[in-house]
Amino acid sequence: MEKIPSEWRPLRIVDLKGELAGFDDWVLCGGYSVALVANGDTRDHGDIDIGVFRSEIDGCLHALGKERVFLCVDGKHVRWSGETVPAEVHDIWITDTVGKYWVLQVMLFDDEGDFVVYRRDRRIRWSKRHHSRIASGIRVLNPFVTLLFKTHKPTLADKEVHDVIALIESGPEKK
């Protein structure tokens, strides 16, 4: 039976670029992104998350190294075979180079052309240029998108869909 890490030793934000070995199409997500947007940490962080468009995920995973990649499937960690990541996979966990600790979570964002599509309600979509912001010199997930994913409401009324799209599109564009 394959040994799966049970502990996290998350990468530091400053080490992400080096770990991703030239793959640059990612955004910082989760608690660290919220901390940068809010200009300060408000809680401890047990992990670190980045987001990648589904259309770009193969490049990201190859940059990290196939042997370090585990797909989250039905509550289990399944070593990546190197093939196309299945549509039902939304999270991917990465080990350190020796496979002892989890060091990074990669969150997948569904995309179609120049738009990102919210997987829980595909009526909600926003332009890729509004998907991220720069905070403290780092590209972070748009805080409205973070809020959207954290709400976990399975279905939104049409007026709520409109409001969410308007909020996401109201921010400054990525430079």
Q: Per-residue pLDDT tens for 12-44? A: 999 999 999 889 999 999 888 888 887 766 667
Sign of the Cα pseudo-torsion (81, 72, 23, 173, in order): positive
pLDDT at 167: 56
Task: Write the CATH number for 90.
Answer: 3.30.460
pLDDT at 51: 98
Q: What letter represents residue 94's amino acid?
A: I
Best CA proximity match to 109, nearest among 82, 149, 73: 149
Sign of the Cα pseudo-torsion (55, 56, 60, 62, in order): positive
pLDDT at 85: 97
Q: Per-residue pLDDT tens for 105-133? A: 999 999 999 999 999 899 999 999 999 99
67 lies in a domain? yes
pTM across the whole model: 0.86
Q: Per-residue pLDDT tens for 44-77? A: 778 999 999 999 999 999 999 999 999 999 999 9
Best CA proximity match to 72, nearest among 82, 58, 86, 54: 86
Q: Per-residue pLDDT tens for 132-152? A: 999 889 999 998 898 888 776
Number of domains in the chain: 1
Helices (H) and strands (E) in the chain, counts: 5, 11
Domain hosting 18: range is 13-109
Better-scored residue on pLDDT, 135 or 89: 89
pLDDT at 175: 62
61 lies in a domain? yes
140 lies in a domain? no
84 lies in a domain? yes
168 lies in a domain? no
Cβ(89)–Cβ(75) below 8 Å: no
Q: Is the pLDDT of residue 80 over 60?
A: yes
18 lies in a domain? yes
Strand order in the sheet with 115-117: 111-112, 115-117, 125-127
